[in-house]
Amino acid sequence: AQSVTQLGSHVSVSEGALVLLRCNYSSSVPPYLFWYVQYPNQGLQLLLKYTSAATLVKGINGFEAEFKKSETSFHLTKPSAHMSDAAEYFCAVKKAAGNKLTFGGGTRVLVKP
């Protein structure tokens, strides 16, 4: 069975500082990988996805993620945090031949002025 591990349930960053959210997956074959963001009392919005094209994926709102097969990782970064980045972030995997998403436990980001 697939699983997703997000290291750190809470991350606090200063405005303007680097945001780094870690995601590791377990899968026998390279899956499709996603990062979603969830603002309070809202559904999930897709930030970016890895589909086996380029290993460095650029998403919305200045976020990007790098797929590293040797490390089974798909960490999310943003060079400079903005107050509006305060939210919960979820990493998810989907088997290439599957349909459902398997999510990590989420990382809540707090941005300090």
Partner 1 sequence: DTGVSQDPRHKITKRGQNVTFRCDPISEHNRLYWYRQTLGQGPEFLTYFQNEAQLEKSRLLSDRFSAERPKGSFSTLEIQRTEQGDSAMYLCASSLAGLNSPREQFFGPGTRLTVL
Give dist(CA 84, CA 88) in Å, integer: 12
- How far apart CA 92 and CA 105 sit, in angstroms, is 10
12 binds partner 1 (CB under 8 A): no
Q: Considering beta carbons, is residue 73 or 89 the nearer one to partner 1?
A: 89
Regarding 113 and contact with partner 1 (CB under 8 A), the answer is no
Region from 14-22, 65-73, 76-84, 103-111 binding partner 1, contact rule CB under 8 A: 103-111
Q: How many residues bind partner 1 (CB under 8 A)?
A: 26
Distance between the two ends of the chain, CA-based, in angstroms?
41
60: Cβ–Cβ under 8 A, 6 or more apart, which residues?
46, 47, 48
Phi, psi values for residue 70, rounded to 5°: -65, -25
Among 1, 28, 40, 42, binds partner 1 (CB under 8 A): 42
Q: Does 28 bind partner 1 (CB under 8 A)?
A: no
Question: Is 41 one of the binding residues for partner 1 (CB under 8 A)?
Answer: yes
Residue 30 binding partner 1, by CB under 8 A: no
Phi, psi of 5 (to 5 degrees): -120, 125
The two tokens of residue 69 are: 């097969």
Q: Which residues bind partner 1 (CB under 8 A)?
A: 4, 9, 32, 34, 36, 41-46, 49, 51, 90, 92, 94, 96-97, 99-106
